[in-house]
Chains A and B, each alone.
Chain A
């Protein structure tokens, strides 16, 4: 196995172009598991952890540009005000050690339906910025996930950063896992309320072949929320929202849980998330 560890983005892109089958590794929290289990035997590993451009975040107007290698721990501590949904999702990732190494770039690279960041990114309508020697492009998160563990990334491309709108309303991330920490999602749900555009964004994890969006639920919520005054939500409305989220999922039975359980709990955590996020939306209203 060849192992490259470029120290600049330009070198990294050249190497990826020369070795399109190279597997990118940064924190290693996904890749090393795959290697340990013999599920992947890449000819080449491209270690991006020394590429400083990937390990920074910056503000760009109403958005945060999050370097692909910024760790979950940093997202939690440095970006919880601007990206509350993603910060909550980050909190649920693995253990502290994993959160100190792993980042959103790796999550997107694996494109697993269970990736904890995905529902938060879907809910906020993030954009994935990728590059190759051919140039850069931005992929709408809703077009990023193509099939199980397959993304819109081309073989010579590297994920550089993710552009995520700063919160303009309540956000939530909620996950069902059999254990109280360090657990792969049985199902998960991300929600972002945008007081300015009066839109509601959703993301469903671990309940379909790819991370999914609950389009009808989004429309239902947007049209039923009391955007003007922020009136509390009726239980029936929350239940209907939960049911619509559940209906948008396409879960299967596996060792982590049954499809029926996933559908049921998705409806529960979606309804709860809407209630919580709507309450915290009031904080945005007053400012």
Chain B
């Protein structure tokens, strides 16, 4: 059974349909990259996957013993979290909250898990540093460690490299691939940095207010939608560089 299934789902904002015809499934070990331009419905779909927004038709459901609250989520950074006085450890530990239920305090085991994930992302030296004083790449690592505290199976990453320089982006992509290959964590990533993002992906979901393409990366590169999008993105990249 698939970890996550989307059956003919459609989402709307204020009664206005913004993405429809979503049919895909994510299996354990997959690395799904969701691509599309701004306003194509990517963020809405993320909210749908996280159960923060209900579909107007169709359904989105988790299987394979995955509960929706066990999705490790790496959100886009908000203005509040950027100047927040908190240590890296406090931030990472807060990822254990979903396993606490109504219990008020973290257990010793929770703290161990937080420390394990801090080591996994090689930020032990930043453990007691103030989150707001870290570089963008270091902040993303801390948030990724927090996301890992919330899940053992599925990570959902929303534009993980936005605001990072190319070196830090590549490093982050490397970490994500490692988590996917070595720790067998399923990845769903949203990105508009198409080349960087699809490099390691196994599956692609292309949105433009509806589902343009879903399938493996190889099929996508040879598909009509894929060719067009990759060429356009290539031109955009060229434009940025020169």
Whether chain B is bound by chain A comes out as no
